[in-house]
Structure 1
Amino acid sequence: MNKKLKQKTTAIIIFSLVTILAIIPFFHTEEPPAKAVEPSGKLSSEISKLLANETVLDGALAGVSIRSAKDGRLLYEHIGDTRLQPASVLKMFTAAAAFSVLGEEYRFTTEVLADGKIDGGTLAGDLYLKGMGDPTLLPADFDEMAKRLKSKGIKEVAGDLVADDSWYDDVRYSEDLTWNDEHQYYGAQVSALTASPNQDYDAGTVIVNILPGKKGKAANLLLEPETDYVKILNETVTVDSEGEHDIIIEREHGSNSISVRGTIPVSAHKAREWVAVWEPSLYAGSLFKKSLEDHGIKVVGKIIKGRATETMTRIVSHKSMPLADLMIPFMKLSNNGHAEVLVKEMGKVVQGEGSWEKGLEVMDAELSRIGIDTSQLVLRDGSGISHANLIPANEISKLLYLVQSEKWSPAFQHSLPVAGDELRMAGGTMRNRLKEEHLKDRVSAKTGTLTGVSTLAGYVKTASGDTLIFSIMLNNLLDDREGRKVEDQIVRILAR
């Protein structure tokens, strides 16, 4: 090849390469957005048809992500990378991070300390009740601690009973909790020292039991546990059997004055309402004082807030159930308070500060370590009660795939509600859903509900014996209850 021809050929090649490189970006920018992963087959077409035809989804957003539990392969998605409100499905991320950071055997501690000497059965000083996050303390636990103090010869506390909740910061509500939720059980204040009325472990609440009285008279109101920490204003009327059952319960902001008003038929069964108290650390202190008095220990002083020091004498301590057991009421019953306690506890253990800010930082780091793309998440709390929380459906299904390789995976999966199982601590929030016999023990999933939001994510065993992971996020609904029907229908399609 002569020199002139060679130069000409080289010029043509260079021109061609430059032209191709110039064209590639042009075609790239003109490509349509990535389509949803939709493998051929009935599964894809049925789900797509359902999403297209359900009138409840008109004007709503539906994020759906389906994966193989075996290899994590994405089998179907519909706007799976769009961030949507997760509601209580977010609790799965909190649970995973807590298992990873704290461990299955982690227990919360509550201590009783003395500031003064014990002489002749009298504590010449103050008695401190120091909470360190336990959301499962019951009146029975205070009784047990009082019994142990009695066995050590204490008959009187000359000083005050001091409630110490300094293990966490003093911020009681998560950032986006709405004002009208603060008296609801799911909006109870978060404190390092708190108490629960029963084994649902709704910390920081009392139960108001409402029974009909005589016709024309007020209803009978009973508190559980018995406590004078709250004051009840009874404005109810018992009406005849055909009358309306309409009871409204509210707690006045900044106080423990609870008003109960409305009507109850004379033939009505007992009604129960959980009400969050104001300042749960003093509530715990009042229950402990009652236990002390019931066991013959007199407290001369008042119940006040304060902080114990390292120089004080530790008299008794109480350990909570292990974290793996705590996860059952937390996840099965979707307990908001437990979620926020776990966030603060992670912050305390790892960064030395029991706050939402530090806890969410720890949670973010741990989820990233597990394999979640936390740059796609907006986390404002641990429970999902905030409408500002945002997670893509694909990251939820990814979490459910990734946790399978963690050593705590059996405890995590055991904590999920089992569809159609009527036992409260088995079926949880799924006990009245997907109750068909052929679906028995085949669906375990976490529910989520906010105004205009319904979500469901978990595992389903198919008829062929495989396990699929699903994440369904319905946002901007006019009726979130109707959204559950759509979720259940998708799960039925997957089960087939």
Structure 2
Amino acid sequence: MKTKILMALLLWLCAGAVATAQTAAADSLPVRIDRLVANKLPQGSNVGICVYDLTTNKYIYQYQADKLSRPASTMKLLTAITALDHEGGDEPFRTEVWCKGRIEGDTLRGDLYVVGGFDPEFDEAALDTLVAYVARSRFSVIAGKVYGDVSMKDSLYWGSGWVWDDNPYSFQPYLSPLMLCKGVVSLTARPGQKGEAAEITTSPASTYYRVVNRTVSRTPSAGRFRLTRNWLEEGNDLLVSGNVASAQGGKVNVRGSERFFMHTFVERLRASGVECDSCYGFSEFSRDSTSRCLIRYETPVINVAEQLMKKSDNLNAEAMLCRLGMQATGKKHVSADDGLSAIRMLIKKLGFDPDDYNLADGCGLSNYDYLSPQLLVGFLKYAYSRTGLFQKLYKILPVGGMDGTLKNRMKKGTLSYRNVHAKTGSYTGINSLAGYLKTSEGHWVAFAIMNQNVMSGRQARAFQDAVCDEIIR
């Protein structure tokens, strides 16, 4: 009798264990994400997902992880990780002013050079700092010429595969080693009396561009407010039109970033009392015995990288890519491909074949970029393995529900709130998310989710947020 009871008890315990195992398997992470793919993926779209547990060093979920996709701005992860990890990655961005020639009395018998180092955060205050320093120098007359040195980079002002009709949007500036306010003009229109033109203010102020004011105050029939530029004519007329019932603002790029910089620099130099020819030129600076550096303006690289990640700034990514090219090759004159070659070298170092992917720019604007979720996770794994690099990267990534491009998603009350540190990437048909999170068990995880052919960004973001919640759970 006792034997029968023991046998029954053992059978009952085994059945319970099997049921528990089956329940656990049915509720495992792969099953839960598979369920999201089946039920929450936007109709007609596709996705690649790769999830890696950094604590246990193993993949915990993969779905089309090697599928090639357009990364959009998650391409910035490759650029930033490679650039910050490279020797000299902590060096600041520099813009220098040199004089070359003899100073006789209050006159420089020679030329003044502004040497561009592709500082994407160089703003109006920085320009005024240069002007003020030159104005306090030993000379107040420049008998020679004022030159801009933009020889650091080739003359291609857009990246390969960038869309021509994104001009004149501010997110696609004309690239140059001399950038002022990101090559963008900010404009504000304030209404006057009904039927009158609105009051227009711009920053930075410069005669390089012209404002064409076609606005009408407090007149709905004038149509919606609009700011553009005569970009099809390759001009710099800022065209403002429509109804202005309250303060309206906008940003537009200007054609010829290097000329915008130099024109405004010389204009303000003359306004500060320095006599010089209003016609500037461009020439490569070379040192000799008469050369002297007047001022060196520096921007910490972490400031550039933070704007790149938090705000997904395309200009900052391209600037870091070109600087990476200089550091990797040792060349004085570089192109975007010099930086991309350095990224390809790291791809190979991580055990991937660079020929399996296509890299066209540093920011992800290009339609020619093709990566995989597995490659993105490979870069995130590498950054995590290098403590100093990870600390920098983790700090500058957008935080779910808190800041940057994740500020308005992963709201308070969700598992992902303040837990996900990740880079977003989106344009028409593309929506990606890649970064780090911590599970409820305290495990560090690297992940990449690449939604393709998705016309609803809202649905793609909801899907990605749900995947992150499941990983954390």
TM-score by length of 2: 0.88
The aligned runs of 1:338-357 (5 Å cut-off) are: 338-351=316-329, 352=331, 353-357=333-337
Structure 1 runs (4+) greater than 3 angstroms displaced: 38-42, 240-246, 370-373, 437-440
The partner residue of 1:403 within 372, 383, 397 is 383
Question: Could you say if the C-alpha distance between residues 110 and 227 of structure 1 is closer, same or farther in structure 2, counting changes exceeding 3 Å?
Answer: same
Q: Secondary structure at the match of 2:86?
A: helix
Q: Which residue of 2 aligns with 1:434?
A: 410
Does residue 41 of the first structure (1) align with residue 21 of the second (2)? no
Measured after TM superposition, the shift of residue 367 of structure 1 is 3.4
How far has the Cα of 1:244 moved from its partner? Answer: 5.6
Residues of 1 paired with 2:419 and 2:102: CA distance?
60
Match of 2:354 in 1: 374
Q: Could you tell me which residue of structure 2 aligns to residue 24 of structure 1?
A: none
Q: What is the alpha-carbon distance in structure 2 between the residues aligned to residue 374 and residue 271 of structure 1?
A: 47
Equivalent position of 2:13 in the other structure: none
5+ residue gaps, structure 1, are 1-37, 197-202, 422-426
Q: Does the 8 Å CA contact 1:137/1:320 hold for their aligned counterparts?
A: no
String of CA shifts for 1:370-423, please: whole Å, max 9, x gaps. 4554333211110001122111111112221221112322101111001111xx
Q: Which residue of 2 aligns with 1:160?
A: 145
Amino acid at match of 1:142: L
**Which range moved further: 325-334 or 479-488?**
479-488
Quote the offset at 1:81 in angstroms: 0.8
- The answer to whether residue 256 in structure 2 is matched with residue 271 in structure 1 is no
Structure-2 change in CA distance of 1:119 and 1:369 (3 Å): same
Q: Distance in 1 between matches of 2:337 and 2:378?
A: 25
Paired residue for 1:361, among 338, 341, 345? 341
* Match in the other structure for 2:423: 446
| Corresponding residue number in structure 2 for 1:95 | 80
Q: How many angstroms apart in 1 are the aligned matches of 2:36 and 2:125?
A: 51
Give the letter aligned to residue 424 of structure 2.
T
* CA distance in 1: counterparts of 2:201 and 2:111, whole angstroms: 32
Distance of aligned partners of 1:481 and 1:221 in 2 relative to their CA distance in 1, 3 Å threshold: farther
One of 212, 221, 224 as aligned partner of 1:233: 212
User: For 2:279, which of 302, 307, 325 is the aligned residue?
Assistant: 302
Contact 1:136/1:320 (<8 A) preserved: no
Does the alignment pair 1:394 with 2:380? no
1:67, CA displacement in angstroms? 1.2
Whether contact under 8 Å (2:225, 2:240) holds in the other structure is no
Equivalent residues of 1:149, 1:315 under 8 A apart: no
- Alignment match, 1:292: 269
One-letter amino acid matched to 1:419: G
Shift of 1:174: 0.7
Give the match's secondary structure for 2:299.
Answer: coil
Secondary structure of the corresponding residue to residue 64 of structure 1:
strand
Aligned to 2:20: none
Query: Does the aligned pair in 1 maintain the 2:230–2:239 contact within 8 Å?
Result: yes
Which residue of 119, 124, 138 maps to 2:123? 138
Deviations 1:87-134 (A, max 9, x none): 000100000110122544211222212233222212223321111222
1:42 alignment partner AA: S
In structure 1, C-alpha distance between the alignment counterparts of 2:77 and 2:353, rounded to whole Å = 15
Worse-superposed segment, 445-454 or 305-314: 305-314
Matched, 1:466 2:446: no
* Alpha-carbon separation, structure 2, partners of 1:334 and 1:192: 20
Hey, what's the Cα distance between the residues in 2 that align with 1:221 and 1:371? 55
Q: Give the one of 411, 414, 419 matched to 2:400.
A: 419
For 1:196-241, what per-residue CA distance to the aligned partner results, in whole angstroms no more than 9, with x for missing partners? 1xxxxxx111111222232212222211111111111112222347
Q: Counterpart in 2 of 1:261?
A: 241
Rounded to whole Å, the distance in 2 between the matches of 1:278 and 1:243 is 28
1:314-353 Cα offsets, whole Å, 9 max, x none, are 3323242222232111111001011112222222232214
Mapped to 2, the partners of 1:261 and 1:240 lie a distance apart of 12
Measure the CA separation in 2 of the matches of 1:77 and 1:220: 56
SS at match of 1:223: strand
Q: Which amino acid in structure 1 is aligned with residue 162 of structure 2?
A: L
Does residue 109 of structure 2 align to residue 129 of structure 1? no
CA distance in 2, matches of 1:489, 1:440: 12
Mean Cα displacement is larger for which, 152-161 or 72-81? 152-161
**Structure 1 length as normaliser, TM-score?**
0.84
Give how far 1:465 is off.
Answer: 2.2
Aligned to 2:464: 487
Paired residue for 2:303, among 325, 329, 342? 325
2-structure distance, mates of 1:398, 1:72: 12
Letter in 2 for 1:316: L
Displacement after TM superposition at 1:482 (Å): 2.5
Q: Which residue of 2 aligns with 1:206?
A: 185
Q: Secondary structure at the match of 1:320?
A: strand
Q: Taking every aligned residue pair, what percent have the same amino acid on both sides?
A: 26
Distance 1:250 1:142, change over 3 A: closer
Report whether the alignment pairs 1:176 with 2:161: yes
Q: Indicate yes or no: 2:171 matched with 1:186.
A: yes
Q: Provide the secondary structure at the position in 1 that maps to 2:156.
A: coil
* 1:247/1:260 contact within 8 Å kept: yes
Q: Does the C-alpha gap of structure 1 residues 319 and 403 become closer, same or farther in structure 2, counting only changes over 3 Å?
A: same
Does the CA-based 8 Å contact 1:157-1:299 persist in structure 2?
yes
**Alignment-derived partner of residue 7 in structure 1:** none
Q: What SS does structure 1 have at the residue aligned with 2:131?
A: helix
1: CA distance, partners of 2:132 / 2:455: 54
- Bigger drift between 129-138 and 118-127 goes to 118-127
Gaps of 5+ in 2: 1-23
